Chain A
Amino acid sequence: MNVECHQAIVVGGGPAGLAAAIRLKEKGVDDVVVLEREHRTGGILRQCIHDGFGLTRFGETLSGPEYAQRFVDRAEELGITCLTDTTVLTLEADRTLTTSGPAGLKKLRGDAVILTMGCRERTRGALAIPGSRPAGIYTAGVAQEYINLRNLMVGREVVILGSGDIGLIMARRMTLEGAHVKGVYEVQPYPSGLPRNIEQCLNDYHIPLHLSHTVTDIHGRERLEGVTISQVDERFRPIPGTEERVDCDTLILSVGLIPAGDIANGSGLAVDGRTKGAFVDEHYQTNLPGVFSAGNVLHVHDLVDFVSLEAEALATAAAEYLRAGALPPCPLEVQAGANVGHVIPQRISGTRSFTLSLRVRQPMKKVTLTVAQNGREVLRRKLPKALPAEMIQLTIPAEKLEAAGDLEVSVQ
């Protein structure tokens, strides 16, 4: 099979991929190809019809499809090639991609390959929830696709497990479309979605949120008939005697998102066990030279605006890589210290400014975020609150960094 060569190949035409492709083109990289498995670009935003997108990126509040369309239009203006109906099967370490589509099998190799495939939803099986396996159990994103794209209503009496943002959004969507959402149950003692979504998706519609509760049994052979809810202790173990049956025909799971980097399995791409995405340096370059990663396939974001901004930063670096043939080496490690769940990037040069992204492990109020190098404070910032639901981002200026010594990020 012939191998088709390009300067830059972007895998995934969602908000990250389109933003990266556009920025590459704007930075003078002419030969950019976007590979998209769907018939249309835009990614998951096509089904996120609620508003609230774009405040950071565009300074106005848009629905998902409107936000996506701005990138789709700009890509078209710039004449970027988007190969739709094209699924990437595998990535190899030499940046060769094998794709499949109704038009046939293809092999493409990029001087730079940009991974922007987004994420997938954690399932019931991954959680190992006991009980029967009837119809009526949907992940929030699948329910959202049925309801918003395919005009199919998935149920009437609804219980939602997990307070992730998509679950909260679906609580409101299903209520508006006539379903009865009986409650949202969250195993953690705090919500995993954004506070404003608790307010406008649950409180506005009087949908109760039960923290430190989870589903411990599922009932029904054909269609779901009900779930057993239990309170959990501080180690998330169900407390005997707190079981309560809630009748419902639908269980929506909003229990976490996982980067969908599956095509890179077998390529030698190094994956961080905490983010489930790639290890990257400050240029968003992975351990495979010329392979870059950003957006939800790198680490799950709370807002699409940050996804696009991160992809644009990636593209700026990738354009430099293509122009110069290399980027400054990044020998310094960035470590997650006290109360920090993960950090992006995991490696830096120490000679350039970079954007640090992190999430805290538990909700905290009036905290101080500290970045230290060799025990020396590089940056300190006071925050009124820090929530696991919210990604924290800040710029670390080059002049504060030294060329040697690992960084540690902590929140206290």
Chain B
Amino acid sequence: MTRAFTCIICPNGCEITAEYEGTQVHAIEGATCPKGEDYVRQELTDPRRNIATSIPVEGGELPLVSVRLDKPIPKKDIFSVMDAINRLHVKAPTAIGQVVLADVCGLGANVIITKNVAAL
């Protein structure tokens, strides 16, 4: 089988074609760096994404603080991870890198704060 991919690892967005059978990759073409090949192999076996959203912050100069995952999670689990994040809230001040939920949904990724929000 042949499938075309747009690599999302960097802004170059290489168009990569892969020939494969099941999870067995025969050939990869179009990647301008090794990360592109890794990306395609990952997409074929276990596609993963990072997500970014925000959670309410109490007593902060902003009503929300942004969060993301410290590593990607399986694409199919995006909405269950969103559900878990939607239950979170935090008190100001917040600091970049602060873990607000470890091992979200048992997927091995932490939910981390990405903005410093000062207390009021």
Closest to A205 in B: B78
| A139 to B30 CA separation, bound complex (whole angstroms) | 36
| A196 to B49 CA separation, bound complex (whole angstroms) | 12
Q: In the complex, what's the smallest C-beta–C-beta distance from A64 to chain B, in angstroms?
A: 8
Q: In the complex, what's the smallest C-beta–C-beta distance from B40 to chain A, in angstroms?
A: 12
Chain A residues positioned under 8 Å from B9 (CB to CB): 196
By the criterion CB–CB under 8 Å, are A46 and B115 in contact? yes
Of A61, A62, A194, A195, which is in contact with the most chain B CB atoms at under 10 Å from its CB? Answer: A195
B50 within 8 A of A: yes
Of B8, B61, B62, B78, which is in contact with the most chain A CB atoms at under 10 Å from its CB? Answer: B8
Q: Please, what's the 1-or-0 string for B45-81, where 1 marks a CB less than 8 Å from any CB in chain A?
A: 0000111111010000111101010000001001000
Answer whether A65 and B11 are a contact pair too, CB < 8 Å, given A176-B51, A198-B6, A200-B49: no
Chain B residues positioned under 8 Å from A326 (CB to CB): none
| A173 to B53 CA separation, bound complex (whole angstroms) | 7
- Number of A residues, CB within 8 Å of B: 33
B110 within 8 A of A: no
Q: Is the interface of B mostly helix, strand, loop or mixed?
A: loop
Chain A residues positioned under 8 Å from B82 (CB to CB): 176
Q: Please, what's the 1-or-0 string for A227-260, where 1 marks a CB less than 8 Å from any CB in chain B?
A: 0000000000000000000000000000000000
Give the interface of A toward B (CB within 8 A). Answer: 39, 46, 49-52, 55-56, 61-63, 65-66, 69, 148-151, 173, 176-177, 194-196, 198-200, 204, 302-303, 384-385, 390
Answer whether A65 and B115 are a contact pair too, CB < 8 Å, given A149-B62, A195-B6, A204-B49: yes
| A177 to B53 CA separation, bound complex (whole angstroms) | 8
B42 within 8 A of A: no
By the criterion CB–CB under 8 Å, are B53 and A150 in contact? no
| A61 to B9 CA separation, bound complex (whole angstroms) | 9
